[in-house]
Each structure stands twice: as C-alpha cells, then as structure tokens.
Amino acid sequence: MPTVVDQILQHVFDSCRDNTSGAVADYIPELAAVTPDGFGIALATSDGYVYEVGDTSVPFTIQSISKPFTYGLALADRGEAAVAAKIDIEPSGEPFNEISLDPITERPRNPMINAGAITSASLIAGRSGEERFERIRSAYSRYAGRRLSFNPDVYSSEARTGNRNRAIGYMLRSFDIITGDPDDAVDLYFRQCSIDVTATDLAMMAATMANNGLNPRTHERALAPALVERVLSVMTTCGMYDGAGDWVARVGMPAKSGVGGGILAVLPGQMGIAVYSPRLDQHGNSVRGVDACRELSKKLELHFLHVTRAARSAIRGRYTIAETPSRRRRSEIEQAAIAEFGHRARIYELHGDLLFSGAETAVREIGNLDEDLDALVIDVRGVDEVSDIARAMFDSLRTQLADRGCRASLVDPRAVMGKTASSVNPKGADGRVFGDLGSAMQWAEEILLDRYCVGPRQPEVILPQDHPVLSGLDPQRYAQVAEVLSMRSYARGDVIVRTGDPAAGLFLILAGQVSSTFTAPGGSRHRISTLSPGMSFGEMPLLAKTHFILDFRADTPLSVAVIEVADFDALTADAPEVKLDLLTNLATGAYMQMNTAIKSLGQFDPER
C-alpha cells in the first residue's frame, strides 16, 4: 500500500514531468545522444530505506556529482591542511568550467568547479593512474553500497572533446597547484566523471553522507564524520555553481549537480535525495531536478535551517498490551484473554521534534508491522514540535490502519497533533484522543476483550450480594453484613479519600471506576491502578489501623457499598465467622490485584 511519502513523490514527479525546457549537454557527444526526457526521483533515509518513482534504475554517468566524493577522498589521503593549501572553499560566482584562479590566493576557488575538481583528482594517493582511479571507484562504491561500473564510451567522448579541461590542467600546473603531469590529472578527472550510477545509487550515496559517512545498509565507513562536515559545507555554498545562492534560499540542502542530468542533495542526519533528468538549465543543472528538489523541500519541510534538534529516531518505546497491560484490575478471564491476544494491540511512545525524518521512520515501522493489529496507541506526550507534513503522515497512517481493521488513538493532552477529544469521531479513522496513557491502554484492552474474550466479562454494575468480597456468604451471614452496609454515590472527579486520611472503612465498588493515585513532591499526580465493579479499596488502612498512602478519586460516576470502621471491628465479637469469610475473600482479591500490578510494571510509566 503506498505511503504518504510515496504519494508525495508521485505528486512531485507528475507536477514536474511536463517541464521540457532546457537541453542535454551537447559538448560531450555521448551525453548529447541520451534520451532527453528520462526522469526519476529517489529518496533514501539515513537508515537505508529508499522511496523511488520513475526512471530510478536507468544508468547515467555521474559527471560533476563526483566532485564532492573525490574531494572527500583527497582530504582523507592528504589531510585538511594540505588540501586547503591547494584548493580554496569560497563560492566562485562563475561558470563551472571557467579557466581562472582566485586572483589573490592563485588557487581554485573551490573543489566543486572544474579547476578545483581536477586538483582534487591530482591529490589522490596511488602508484599509478589506474590505481588512483580504482581507489576513487571503490570510494564511490562504498557510498552507493554496491560496486559501480565504468562507462568507456563516455570516457572516450570526454577525452576527445575535453580541451577546455586540459587548458585548466595546464593552468594549474603553471601555478604549481598540480605538481605532476597535468594530462594525468585531467585524465583521472575524465575517468571519475565516467562512472555509471542510477538515481537510486545517488540517493544512497547522499544518505551515506547524511549518516555521517557510514553507509546505512552495508554499515561500511565511506568517510570520517569530520570530513563529511567539511564536504557538506562546501557543497552548501558551491555545489550548484552560480545558482548556489538561489538553491540555498529555496531548497536549503547541501547539493551537487552533474551535466549527466543528476542532482544529489543531502539533509544531514535525515536523508539523501537524487533526481535524474538530462535537460539542463543555463547553469548546467537539471531543470526538472531543481524543480523537483524545490517541491520536495517545500512539501516535506526539508530546509536545513528547519531540522530536528537531534538526528535520532522519534520512537522512544514500543511494546504490546500483552507485555505491559494497563493498571486497570481485570478478572481472571479478562487477564487470560489479554495475555493471549495482547500482541494485537501496540503502544508507540514518540519523543523529540517530529518533523519529516522522525515521522517517516515511525510511520514506516508502524505501517510495515507483520502481525495484524486491532488497536494502536500513539503516545506523543514527549513530542515538542510537529510539522504539517508529520501530521499529514500520521493522519494517512491512521486512515490506512482503519482500512485494515485497526483502530488507532493518540495520547496527546496538549493537542500537538492538531486534534482534541472533541474534534474526532471516536469510531472513525481518527480514533480517539486521550489525555493520559492509562486511559488509552484501557481503551485498547477493551477493543481486544470485545473481540476475543470468551466468558463472563467484568460487569458494569453489580449488586452488593454479588460482590466478590461478599460472595460465598450464606443468606444468614450476608444478612448480618447487609445490616452494616451504607450506600454512597460520587460524581466524576470527586476525591473519596486523600493521602494521610485515617482508615475510612471497606469500600466495595458496585458501579463506575475509581483510580488510586500518588502525588509526587513536585506536585505531579501518578496513577497507580484503576478499579472497577467487583473490586474494593480501603482494606489495608482498615486492617493495619493506619492512614491512606494514596488518593482515591472517582473516574466516572461511582456507586459503592461501605462497611465503616466501627462496624467492621464490631464483627469480631458479633459475627466472627462472617469476618473470617470477609478476610479470606479480601486476601484472595489482594493476591490477584498484586499479580496484575506486577504485570503492569513491564514498561513502567508513572503518568499512566
């Protein structure tokens, strides 16, 4: 099923495809013969996943896109100081093939123009031209994650017609920028430009740069992180030649173009983008490539001045309901159903700034889960900033999950995803919005229990005589207890007892829900458990003659039957057999509640 990223790539592809302005490079005969309207877009994430549309597997020669990679190899071979003594890093403002040096330093202005690129090639270590070329090709292959091939026809064509580059080579030799044979340096440059790549290759090469020089698929180191930083810095200001200023303002990513029709762009820490389309503008950049990158940057909010504060996964935690059930106390039958089918409900906890890269990683992982899901909880309490594209991606994910029969909800008390509890259809694709994780987990459990629990469920309302604490009493003994039961009702939000209150009796829940909570020294309140009909509270202060250590608050309208302290104590003398029955039932219930509480600690979250 296409993801929102696939849909955006397709939209950008369709919107740029009809632009047939520009022309192929005609000064190299082999390039003049290519099909002018080939077009492909590839996007590779920093963990190696590739989205693509169009002619992404069509080979073409890398041409000037080779320049940053050879520059990086030269830095690795010679060191930054030695390379800086030969090549400046300032924008030129001139065409890429200008025969000139900086008038003050008498060096090529940067390694992205031909003069600087030929100099970079001359600095590659090796005992022969063939060895230096193989080192270059091997370096490019490490970035791409596969062995790249050499195109002898394009090389021969460039060698026959490359007199301007030879003139640049001899100029460099006359200023001692190149100290060896300039023809060797120029020939090596022709060879590196004649390596075949595809748009998919270039996207992976860019993703390797985005991943600090480590190929995200092969995990092979292509370049040291410090050198990647220098290469990307130069690409930012010089990679698009005399169109670099407009590129930085409108696209905002380090990039490099080539007259073979390719463009490569890098968003550090997040992704690489590559476009193939041979028609070039007056700067020597792919017309469709520039348009496509502008559209992608705009739609995906990729400008490098608006990125996440940390290049890390947005997913902080992931677990199933089976691994970590909610703190709502359940019957044995319900607990068994949750244990068996709890893998069909998952919780994802997200954090940090949720922009395109983090959202893409999370949406891809969730959308590609192998097992069928009935319920999904996405917890965004730890998320700070959310981009429009991230919201759109999660909206699309929730719709796709709904189509597969999976209901998704958000834990989003600050509405960072743009939805509140009142703005969604609880039964629709939008799912539900909760203010706390515990409520969302209970919601997911209820979905599973509605579908898979076989046998009696925890009742919504019970009569006093059916409460487990009073179960098993014969009519006479129950009548003795009934004489001391008092019925009480509470509204939602009412505090029944507070921390520090003395024992207030034994509370038997007949209808509604009540939560026990702990208030931390800083004032934050943490849910400990949720109790429902058939459960009780107050027994520990009652039996131990101590104070409450938790608050108990009604989550819903609540009905309880209460045995007050004096009445419970009086049973010792008036009806000791009845009291023994009550204590036995309380001990059994306490054991089961403790078992549930221990299970819920698998992924402890104090804000549940």
pLDDT at residue number 270: 87
Same domain, 295 and 323: no
Quick one: average pLDDT of 321-335? 86
Contacts of 456 (CB under 8 A, 6+ apart): 331, 333
pTM attached to this predicted model? 0.73
Same domain, 286 and 403: no
Examine the pLDDT at 286 and tell me if it is beyond 90. Answer: yes
Asked if residue 608 belongs to a domain, the reply is no
Catalytic residue among 49, 51, 71, 189: 189
Active site residue 241: yes
Look up the domain containing 513 and give its range. Answer: 464-599
For the segment 468-519, what is each residue's pLDDT rounded down to a tens digit? 899 888 999 999 999 999 999 999 999 999 999 999 999 999 999 999 998 8
Among 26-30, 83-87, 289-293, the least confident range: 26-30
Active site residue 189: yes
pLDDT interval class at 599 (50, 70, 90): low
Same domain, 72 and 126: yes
Examine the pLDDT at 331 and tell me if it is beyond 90. Answer: no
pLDDT interval class at 592 (50, 70, 90): low
For the segment 402-436, what is each residue's pLDDT rounded down to a tens digit? 888 899 999 999 999 987 654 445 444 456 899 88
For the segment 46-66, what is each residue's pLDDT rounded down to a tens digit? 899 999 999 999 999 999 999
Asked if residue 607 belongs to a domain, the reply is no
pLDDT at residue number 593: 59
pLDDT at residue number 311: 45
3-state secondary structure labels for all residues of 354-369: ECHHHHHHHHHHHHCC
Catalytic residue among 51, 241, 276, 490: 241
pLDDT at residue number 584: 87
Please compute Rg for the chain using Cα positions.
Answer: 34
Distance of alpha carbon 174 from alpha carbon 410, whole angstroms = 68
β-bridge partners, 570: none
Same domain, 385 and 468: no
DSSP 459: P
Among 204-218, 313-327, 437-451, the least confident range: 313-327
Active site residue 46: no
Same domain, 255 and 219: yes
pLDDT at residue number 428: 47
Distance of alpha carbon 200 from alpha carbon 388, whole angstroms = 27
Distance of alpha carbon 446 from alpha carbon 485, whole angstroms = 31
CB hemisphere CA count around 244 (13 angstroms): 23
Same domain, 370 and 519: no
Distance of alpha carbon 577 from alpha carbon 562, whole angstroms = 19
520-523 contacts, C-beta under 8 A, 24 or more apart = 520/606
Distance of alpha carbon 271 from alpha carbon 423, whole angstroms = 34
Among residues 272, 300, 328, which one ends one of the domains? 300
CATH code, domain with 393: 3.30.750.24
Residue 407: what residue type?
R
Write the DSSP string, 28-47: SHHHHTS-TT--EEEEEETT
Quick one: average pLDDT of 20-43? 91
Asked if residue 65 belongs to a domain, the reply is yes
The SS3 of residue 473 is coil
Distance of alpha carbon 513 from alpha carbon 366, whole angstroms = 32
Same domain, 103 and 220: yes
pLDDT at residue number 282: 86
Q: CA-CA-CA-CA torsion for 147, 157, 231, 263, nearest 10 degrees?
A: -80
Examine the pLDDT at 458 and tell me if it is beyond 90. Answer: no
Quick one: average pLDDT of 116-130? 96
DSSP 445: H
Asked if residue 306 belongs to a domain, the reply is no
Contacts of 510 (CB under 8 A, 6+ apart): 461, 462, 463, 464, 467, 533, 559, 560, 561
CATH code, domain with 511: 2.60.120.10
Among residues 452, 473, 497, which one ends one of the domains? 452
Active site residue 67: yes
Catalytic residue among 64, 120, 277, 536: 64
pLDDT at residue number 370: 63
Torsion sign over Cα 348, 447, 550, 324? negative
pLDDT at residue number 310: 47
pLDDT at residue number 426: 45
pLDDT at residue number 604: 47
Kindly list the distances between the CA atom of residue 87 and the CA atoms of 66, 287, 529, in Å, as whole numbers in the listed order. 16, 29, 67
Query: What is the bridge-based pairing of β-strands 375-386 and 345-354?
Result: parallel
Asked if residue 276 belongs to a domain, the reply is yes
Among residues 417, 452, 487, which one ends one of the domains? 452
Asked if residue 305 belongs to a domain, the reply is no
Among 187-196, 294-303, 449-458, 599-608, the least confident range: 599-608
β-bridge partners, 485: 563
Distance of alpha carbon 70 from alpha carbon 424, whole angstroms = 54
pLDDT at residue number 1: 65
Query: What is the bridge-based pairing of β-strands 558-563 and 525-531?
Result: unpaired
Same domain, 471 and 504: yes
Same domain, 584 and 446: no
CB of 325 within 8 A of CB of 599? yes
pLDDT interval class at 307 (50, 70, 90): low
Catalytic residue among 67, 256, 419, 599: 67
Specify the higher pLDDT residue, 596 or 50.
Answer: 50
CATH code, domain with 33: 3.40.710.10
Same domain, 343 and 374: yes
As given in the structure block, the two tokens for residue 463 are 């009569």
As given in the structure block, the two tokens for residue 307 are 């990125």
Query: What is the bridge-based pairing of β-strands 315-320 and 345-354?
Result: antiparallel
3-state secondary structure labels for all residues of 367-415: HCCCCCCCEEEEEEEEEEEECHHHHHHHHHHHHHHHHCCCEEEEECCCC
Percent of the chain with pLDDT over 70: 91
Kindly list the distances between the CA atom of residue 449 and the CA atoms of 339, 346, 442, in Å, as whole numbers in the listed order. 11, 14, 10
Specify the number of domains making up the chain: 3
Distance of alpha carbon 244 from alpha carbon 303, whole angstroms = 14
Same domain, 145 and 185: yes
pLDDT at residue number 123: 97
Asked if residue 408 belongs to a domain, the reply is yes
Catalytic residue among 259, 363, 469, 578: 259
Compute φ and ψ for 408, nearest 5 degrees. Answer: -120, 145
Contacts of 475 (CB under 8 A, 6+ apart): none
User: How many Cβ atoms from other residues are within 10 Å of residue 502's Cβ?
Assistant: 12
pLDDT interval class at 384 (50, 70, 90): confident
Active site residue 259: yes
Asked if residue 605 belongs to a domain, the reply is no
As given in the structure block, the two tokens for residue 410 are 């958000």
CB of 537 within 8 A of CB of 504? no
* Mean pLDDT estimate for the chain: 89
Kindly list the distances between the CA atom of residue 209 and the CA atoms of 216, 226, 255, 321, in Å, as whole numbers in the listed order. 10, 11, 11, 39
pLDDT at residue number 108: 94
Specify the higher pLDDT residue, 357 or 514.
Answer: 514
Kindly list the distances between the CA atom of residue 511 and the CA atoms of 446, 455, 508, 535, in Å, as whole numbers in the listed order. 17, 20, 9, 10
CB of 516 within 8 A of CB of 552? yes
Percent of the chain with pLDDT over 90: 64
Same domain, 288 and 323: no
Quick one: average pLDDT of 538-563? 94
